[in-house]
Structure 1
Amino acid sequence: MSNTGLIIEERSRDIGDFLVGRLIPFRKKRMVGPFIFIDHMGPEALGPDQYMDIDQHPHIGLSTLTYLMEGEITHQDGIGTNQIIKPGSVNWMVGGKGVTHTERTPQHLRDSAAEFTMHGYQIWVALPKDLEDCEPEFHHIDADALPVWEDAGATFKLVAGKGYGKESPVPVHSELFMIDIKTESDYHLNVAGNLKGEIGITIVTGNVTACGDLIEAGNMLVSKTEDICNITIKAGSHILIFGGEPFPEERHIYWNFVSHSKDKIEAAKQAWKDKTFPMMKNDDSYVAMPE
């Protein structure tokens, strides 16, 4: 998905062990491990007069991770991919040295003329410095291929990376984790020994308590310490926990471009303006870069 506008920095606050904000990047924390951007899509009712139509746009230096709770998206890209993603599965596109893609409502949902809900997350994971110029790739992983387990009224799904002694089949490029957790009863989450690196938590629905504060859905918590995170997830809640080992170098982000090098971002910007960027062969749409 294209970050078509400027990133609006929501007010963040400090509650003791955590920073609390809306999404990343926000003012006090630009990245969590290699995760550099998280966009919450919906929930929103679509059809029959409104559909998702995100025209061709570029990426460099990152991998996109699309994860849906409801709805479907057709992903097409410049390396020939045509893939429908459904709830619970993962689309993982490696932008590398440069790739373009579109995201649209599938034709069968348009043909049905029925109303449906679109809800999910578009996540950007920065690539390690030595892989920023790799060849673009695309991988689709079905929901039933992801590790799932239960513990004391909580259901865990390892979406990407490593954690709790398990490994997701998503072919990531650095030490990271993303876990989907749903609770039937109050659940005390203590990740010590189970996850490694910086830790962020997105509250999809419900709420959590941390440091005596009740944090509602739509917010994100970022732990001030690595490898340790103590919160209580309230019954009937749904959260995503993510993070990993941070890179030694700073990452720069402009629109849909991520790199350790400002020069690489400037080159990508110019290529997109000049339309010399690698383009899709079967789609002549074009998202203009914001100035």
Structure 2
Amino acid sequence: MSNIQLIIEERAADIGNFLVGRLLPFRQKRAVGPFVFIDHMGPAKLSDHQNLDVGPHPHIGLSTLTYLFEGAIMHRDSVGSVVEIQPGAVNWMTSGKGVVHSERTPEYLRHSEKSLHGLQIWVALPKELEEMEPSFTHIEAQDIPEWKEGTVQFKLVAGEAFGRRSPVPVYSPLYFLEIKSQEATTISIGEHLFGESALYILEGSIKDGDEEFGPKQILIAKDTELCTFQMAENTMIYIFGGDPFPEERFIFWNFVSSRKERIEEAKKAWMDQTFPKIEGETEFVPLPEPRI
């Protein structure tokens, strides 16, 4: 009997000058645990005149997690951070009461051919921390916990699972796991998970009972404790989830909050340009028109 409650297909979304695959939120599933947004960036080959340029834009009420498979992104924010993210490292920015950041192709790559591939994730903050001071943490790839069980490679990108803890400073019980198989194998990890759980297939395929699933799909588990499935050889998946919040989270553009009126306040603050500034950047992404 299948443990899959819902299947979410990746959908194309435009983030300005770059096309991504949107995974969350979904009309039938707005969040998985505290995870409220996931974009799959690429894989994309960019020419010598194509670059990622996401200009200064604001966030409230969440932490962003940027995780690359290929390429490089230069991150700048109003906290004062200027950091280049490379594959396997984690950029973890907590907006709290308000932060502004930009994401661009680094200068040394802007006039050459390059690749870009990764995940952009938003994790909502607990209600009591939604207005905390903004912060930024960069974790190098070698500091992320990794281990092998047989021919299966595990990596705990964020949170806690398998008796391990990632150094990424999360604010609620959650997990974000990378699992790679060299050979076909059966994975049974329900005892290590909790709360709500979902599985994203990046490469290869998995089987749940008699059903087979391929890349660009998120599978939502009915019961986290029954998380058992078969991985084909050379498959890479991500398992994420955790304890859901008791309150609903509202999302408009880059704003996440448990209060609709707080989102309205943030919209006005951005239009009035009273959010903190990024040193050295003067342009900004305008507030989008509300959908009719």
* TM value normalised by structure 1: 0.92
Maintained 8 Å contact 2:51/2:105: yes
The 5 Å alignment of 1:196-275 reads 196-275=194-273
Whole-angstrom CA distance in 2 between matches of 1:81 and 1:245: 30
Comparing 27-36 with 124-133, which one deviates more in the overlay? 27-36
Maintained 8 Å contact 1:201/1:222: yes
**1:125 counterpart (123, 126, 145):** 123
Whole-angstrom CA distance in 2 between matches of 1:79 and 1:61: 15
Maintained 8 Å contact 2:38/2:119: yes
Whole-angstrom CA distance in 1 between matches of 2:27 and 2:150: 36
Aligned to 2:67: 67
CA separation of 1:48/1:174 partners in 2, compared to 1, >3 Å: closer, same or farther?
same
Aligned to 1:20: 7
Q: Which structure 1 residue ranges, 4+ long, deviate > 6 Å from structure 2?
A: none
Shift of 1:140: 0.2
Maintained 8 Å contact 2:4/2:219: no
The alignment status of 1:87 with 2:84, answered yes or no, reads no
Whole-angstrom CA distance in 2 between matches of 1:67 and 1:273: 30
- RMSD of equivalent CA atoms: 1.2
Shift of 1:16: 5.6
Superposed CA deviations along residues 224-243 of structure 1, whole A, max 9, x for unmatched, are 12333121111111111110
Superposed CA deviations along residues 6-26 of structure 1, whole A, max 9, x for unmatched, are xxxxxxxxx763311121111
Maintained 8 Å contact 1:198/1:227: no
The alignment status of 1:107 with 2:122, answered yes or no, reads no
**1:286 counterpart (281, 284, 287):** 284
Superposed CA deviations along residues 185-206 of structure 1, whole A, max 9, x for unmatched, are 1122222221222111111111
Aligned to 1:135: 133
The 5 Å alignment of 1:155-194 reads 155-194=153-192
Superposed CA deviations along residues 169-223 of structure 1, whole A, max 9, x for unmatched, are 0000000000111110112222222122211111111111123211110111110
Shift of 1:115: 1.6
SS in 2 for 1:268: helix
Question: Between Structure 1 and Structure 2, how many residues are aligned?
Answer: 275
**1:154 counterpart (152, 161, 169):** 152
Maintained 8 Å contact 2:190/2:224: no
State the identity as a percent. Answer: 48
Maintained 8 Å contact 2:73/2:104: yes
Q: Which runs of 5+ in 1 are unaligned?
A: 1-14
Shift of 1:163: 0.5
Superposed CA deviations along residues 65-96 of structure 1, whole A, max 9, x for unmatched, are 00000000000000110000000000000000
Maintained 8 Å contact 1:162/1:195: no
The alignment status of 1:53 with 2:53, answered yes or no, reads yes
